[in-house]
């Protein structure tokens, strides 16, 4: 049984042939859609957050261009990248890591650039970090993007005093040596940063701590995470579990008072092979078996989120604490010939289908999941944007975030349905996933993903209680799930107008092509 979100009743009937898509008969499938909950559940815009770590070419040669590079820049901030991210309304950006955060000392990245010390990035390629991109540069990037900064404090190798000093530097309006230093560095007014992660992956690269030890460390740090007059209150975020580690979540929820945390994180990646040892699987040139395995591993997010949410419900039945899946995405082998520590990978239609599916899962759990961060924004892992000197391209995953931005801060519309199966070599996964919401203007948006690479699904939909006259849509698909954009052919996979939905009497009929992401708007 697969749960999704919408507001009506839906029927999946026999496959409908469309030009360019193969089709085989489908068994009719009914979908019952329920009205919005009371009180309404809002799909937080922060589910659509992103991540920028000092890793490979994400910051340097991504956001932060060489001064000699012939691209539009503000200082060294690359404006073509900024404009692309502005278009999809990035709600928050997480920085400086990741593993890098627990080796980062913020004072190294403020003040005159020429005076900033150089260091070694021990986590990602042992490259020299020149600290030319630091706190002020990051917050200027956030200002240009119109996004909220999400900072990760150094718990692994830092001190309570260091974290508290960073918060005072950024948020206090009092006359202190740190605030005077901030003014000397070009920003007299407080920044008012509210989203603060207290450590990152404290079970691993953030210190290899036990859950019991980390919760004591967290409470110590959180005690000194001070709210400054004139700045909004901090939203303190606990470094949460790795995948399905229920013990970590249980220990955090049991040992940390609810009033000491705003959110709890979860990291869950999709590996094509499902294994962290050996090959994770290729990013291009894969066959259907590898495609199937990747989507099967992606769909595990549903069970993982459900399990952690149930533990949180036991200690927090009013759902005051947000679950933040602040690292997720496809993780493959790096591109051949690239630095293995830079995690540079291509991005195919398969990755877009993973993105659409995962975002549908988050939307459907919006009562608890109130934030997420795709790893990562530029040139790393399942990136939105790839750059090569002056060139820039938008990946298929970028286009999914463009299509799905209509769900940000909209009201969730729930539904129940049993998905048809996508079957390969005797194994099966649900072919269809979906979510839906109603925005503040009253428009209903339905996001649909068909994972089956061959079958077209025909949806016949009744919409009781929804007054609508027109339906429009956009689709992301391509001839193969392995198709991707290159600098020579940057538009191989891009959205187009969707003509497969129409009003038929009082019903909505949708022909959902194979290997596609479709977002409909009903008005």
List active site positions: 201, 327
Please, is 195 exposed, middle or buried when counting C-beta atoms within 10 Å of its C-beta (0-12, 13-18, 19+)? buried
Rounded Cα gap, residues 477 and 355, in angstroms: 13
Q: Rg of the chain's alpha carbons, rounded to an integer?
A: 23
Q: Which two tokens stand for residue 252?
A: 């955090």
* Residue of 374, 322, 329, 491 whose CA lies nearest to 90: 374
DSSP state of 2: E
Q: Could you give phi then psi for residue 362, rounded to 5 degrees?
A: -60, -45
**Cβ neighbour number for residue 54 with a 10 Å cutoff:** 25
Rounded Cα gap, residues 457 and 27, in angstroms: 10
Per-residue b or e along 130-158, where b marks 16 or more CB atoms closer than 10 Å to that residue's CB: ebbbbbbbbbebbeebebbbbbbbbbbeb
Outline where DSSP puts E strands in 420-462.
Answer: 421-424, 427-430, 432-438, 444-450, 457-462
Rounded Cα gap, residues 371 and 472, in angstroms: 28
Number of H helices, E strands in the chain: 10, 30
Q: Look-up: residue for tokens 């920044």? A: 191
Collapsing DSSP to helix, strand or coil, 297 comes out as helix
Rounded Cα gap, residues 516 and 451, in angstroms: 7
Peptide bond into 510 cis (omega under 30): no
Outline where DSSP puts E strands in 27-71.
Answer: 29-33, 42-43, 49-51
* Residue of 441, 444, 442 whose CA lies nearest to 415: 444
DSSP state of 523: -
Rounded Cα gap, residues 356 and 517, in angstroms: 7
Rounded Cα gap, residues 385 and 391, in angstroms: 11
**In sequence order, which residues have a C-beta less than 8 Å from that of residue 37 and are 6 or more positions away?**
367, 412, 414
Collapsing DSSP to helix, strand or coil, 378 comes out as strand
Q: Which two tokens stand for residue 41?
A: 């559940």
CA atoms within 13 Å, Cβ hemisphere of 30: 2
**In sequence order, which residues have a C-beta less than 8 Å from that of residue 346 and are 6 or more positions away?**
283, 284, 335, 386, 484
Peptide bond into 39 cis (omega under 30): yes
Rounded Cα gap, residues 279 and 136, in angstroms: 39
Collapsing DSSP to helix, strand or coil, 258 comes out as helix
């Amino acid at each position: 049984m697969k749960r999704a979100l919408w507001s009506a009743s839906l029927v999946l009937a026999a496959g409908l042939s469309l030009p360019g898509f193969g089709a085989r008969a489908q068994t009719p499938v009914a979908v019952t859609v329920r009205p919005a909950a009371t009180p309404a559940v809002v799909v937080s815009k922060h589910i659509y957050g992103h991540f920028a770590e000092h890793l490979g070419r994400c910051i340097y040669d991504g956001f932060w261009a060489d001064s000699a590079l012939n691209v539009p820049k503000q200082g060294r901030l690359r404006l073509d990248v900024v404009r692309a991210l502005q278009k999809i309304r990035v709600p928050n950006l997480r920085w400086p890591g990741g593993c890098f955060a627990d080796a980062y000392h913020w004072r190294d990245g403020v003040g005159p650039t020429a005076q900033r010390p150089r260091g070694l990035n021990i986590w990602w390629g042992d490259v020299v970090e020149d600290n030319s991109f630091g706190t002020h540069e990051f917050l200027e990037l956030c200002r240009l993007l119109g996004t909220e900064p999400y900072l990760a404090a150094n718990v692994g190798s830092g001190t309570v005093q260091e974290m508290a000093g960073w918060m005072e530097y950024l948020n206090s309006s009092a006359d202190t040596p740190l605030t005077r230093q901030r003014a000397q560095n070009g920003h007299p007014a407080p920044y008012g940063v509210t989203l603060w992660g207290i450590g990152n992956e404290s079970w691993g690269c953030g210190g290899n701590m036990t859950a019991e030890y980390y919760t004591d460390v967290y409470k110590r740090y959180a005690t000194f995470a001070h709210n400054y007059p004139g700045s909004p209150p901090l939203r303190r975020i606990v470094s949460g579990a790795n995948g399905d580690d229920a013990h970590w979540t249980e220990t955090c929820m049991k040992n940390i008072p609810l009033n000491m945390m705003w959110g709890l994180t979860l990291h869950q990646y999709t590996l094509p092979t499902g294994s962290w040892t050996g090959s994770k699987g290729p990013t291009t040139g894969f066959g259907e078996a590898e495609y199937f395995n990747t989507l099967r591993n992606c769909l595990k997010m549903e069970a993982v989120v459900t399990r952690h949410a149930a533990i949180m419900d036991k200690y927090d039945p009013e759902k005051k604490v947000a679950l933040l899946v602040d690292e997720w995405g496809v993780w493959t082998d790096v591109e051949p010939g690239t630095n293995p520590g830079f995690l540079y990978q291509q991005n195919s239609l398969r990755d877009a289908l993973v993105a659409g599916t995962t975002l549908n899962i988050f939307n459907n759990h919006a009562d608890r999941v109130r934030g997420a961060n795709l790893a990562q924004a530029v040139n790393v892992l399942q990136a939105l944007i790839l750059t090569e000197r002056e060139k820039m391209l938008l990946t298929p995953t970028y286009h999914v975030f463009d299509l799905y931005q209509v769900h940000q801060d909209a009201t969730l519309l729930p539904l129940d349905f049993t998905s048809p199966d996508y079957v390969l070599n005797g194994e099966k996964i649900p072919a269809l996933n979906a979510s839906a919401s109603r925005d503040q203007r009253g428009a209903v948006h339905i996001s649909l993903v068909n994972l089956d690479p061959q079958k077209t699904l025909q949806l016949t939909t009744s919409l009781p209680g929804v007054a609508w006259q027109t339906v429009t849509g956009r689709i992301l698909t391509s001839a193969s799930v392995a198709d991707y954009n290159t600098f020579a052919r940057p538009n191989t996979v891009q959205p187009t107008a969707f003509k497969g939905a129409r009003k038929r009497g009082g019903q909505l009929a949708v022909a959902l092509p194979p290997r596609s992401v479709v977002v409909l708007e009903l008005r």
